[in-house]
Chains A and B, each alone.
Chain A
Amino acid sequence: MATTILIPTPLRPYTDKKDAVEADGATIGELLADLTKRHSGLKAHLYNDQGKLRSFVNVYLNDEDIRYLQKEDTKVSAGDTISIIPSVAGGTAVSDQF
């Protein structure tokens, strides 16, 4: 089942500039694993060296932060939208190489 994942501007260099991509998986964890398999450049930006989601990158299932659901075990249903929202510091501009 393909689910749409919305990609924020700083990460679009790693998805061929696409602002939304698809990935397969029944849970958030599976989806993100498939996403980083399809777009390998994303992996270092989403996960730390211990394989945990980075704490300055939030993942939302529709409008809910997965940290307050079942984290990466959160189930994904047809029609759900996943958003990746990294922290951004700019008042003028920020991170080119996020």
Chain B
Amino acid sequence: MATATETLPQLTNDEIKRYSRHLIMPEVGVEGQRRLKAGSVLCIGAGGLGSPAAMYLAAAGVGRIGIVDFDVVDFSNLQRQIIHGTPDVGRSKLASAKDRLQAINPHIEVETYETSVSSDNALQLFAPYDVILDGTDNFPTRYLTNDACVLLGKPNAYGSIFRFEGQASVFATKDGPCYRCLYPEPPPPGLVPSCAEGGVLGVLPGVIGVIQATEALKLIARIGEPLIGRFLIYDALRMRFRELKLKKDPDCPVCGTHPTVTKLIDYEQFCGLRPAPETANVSSQTQSSSGLEISATDLKQRLDRGDKLRIIDVREPNEWQINRIPGAELIPLGEVPRRYAELDPEEEIVVHCKMGGRSAKAADFLRSVGFKRVLNLKGGILEWIDKVDPSQPKY
């Protein structure tokens, strides 16, 4: 961030008119606005969090905004990713986001990076920016973003969401805690499946993304009290904010007094999504789990043949209302531990969910309590619709 006031860029007359509501507040003023003009923020992701964050940062006059994304706009994004519009469906998110940001504010620069953040490129990507805004949706990228911020000494305006709840903080400032101080390790992948199955209230990332943008603006303009060492929890249903204390962990492996992580690592492996090289051969044994799965087409064939199969849908009732496999029975995953007695351990059972993650957990559980013939429907109901019954809607 530019330090000496005299080196800050001047505001043009057009900019003075545009930012007048900032300029008349002494806390921001001309100097704060010039700091914003000299400042830069890299948004990791142009999704639910990145959309509102980048739009407000652009409107506020942050001089350079970078966006990293490699996705394409989909209809299912539009419920919350407000930087994109209906005509943008099918376009790259970067192209769509850049157009929107430049329409909001032509005085700023927008840089786009069509890639996923990786250990190979993170330090280079982050280096030219003052603040990193973490709007990703998976644990490997969260830990990677955190570690790269710590290694580079760049603040991380962090936000995360789930259904109706959001979390926000500022990590990796000079004396503040980092994400690993808060959560030293990610959950094992089996316990936390990804994205599309969880659902999210569309306005939730708006609230959290704008909190992240607020923190980025404050850091760049050097005003207020940043959200450092504080962990903000937001519950949209109760409409309640809570603030928890967050301490820098002296034993933190990346920002502690004796760090053991001094360069970027393999985060897929760290998050258990890929076996460590030395244990790679062990995983070949778990390959046999394919024998515990059934494909949608095989299931259809067996049903047509009249095989006696009991199909258990472990999704939630609201998902069941959207689509279902004929003959299936609903037992949501959370109810399986207390309702499995409704099933016969000797009969052949096919469990399924939306994409196969939750039902794999249900299958593991049923096998652990003595069920002998449990098959997981590979790819879940989405694959069933793709391969067998395209008449049903997908979500």
Binding site for B on A (CB under 8 A): 8-10, 13-14, 19, 40-41, 45, 54-56, 58, 60, 63-65, 68, 83, 85-98
Interface centre among B50, B163, B196, B237, by most chain A C-beta atoms within 10 angstroms, is B163
User: A93 with B199: in contact, given A41-B337, A87-B187, A88-B160 (CB under 8 Å)?
Assistant: yes
A94 and B162 within 8 A (CB): yes
Chain A residues, CB < 8 A from B165: 8-9, 88
B288-322 Cβ-contact flags toward A at 8 Å (1 or 0): 00000000000000000000000000001000000
Bound form: Cα–Cα A97–B47 in Å: 22
- Cross-chain contact B136 with A65 (CB below 8 angstroms): no
B333 near A60 with CB under 8 A, answer no
The interface on chain B, measured as residues whose beta carbon lies within 8 A of the other chain's beta carbons, has a size of: 62
| Chain B residues engaging chain A, CB cutoff 8 angstroms | 45, 47-50, 77, 80-81, 134-139, 142, 159-165, 167, 182-187, 191-200, 205, 231, 233, 235, 237-238, 242-247, 316, 332-335, 337-338, 353, 357-358, 361
Whether A98 lies near B192 (C-beta < 8 A) is yes
A-B residue pairs, 3 tightest by C-beta: A13-B334, A96-B197, A93-B198
25 contacts between A and B (CB under 8 A): A9-B162, A9-B164, A10-B162, A13-B333, A40-B337, A56-B187, A58-B183, A63-B242, A68-B247, A85-B167, A87-B186, A88-B162, A88-B167, A91-B45, A92-B80, A92-B81, A92-B195, A93-B162, A93-B195, A94-B194, A95-B193, A95-B198, A96-B357, A97-B191, A97-B333
Cβ of A74 to closest chain B Cβ, rounded Å: 14
| Distance to closest chain A CB from B75 (angstroms) | 14
Complex CA gap A45/B188 in Å reads 11
Q: How far is the CB of B39 from chain A (nearest CB, A)?
A: 22
Most buried by A among B45, B167, B338, B357: B167
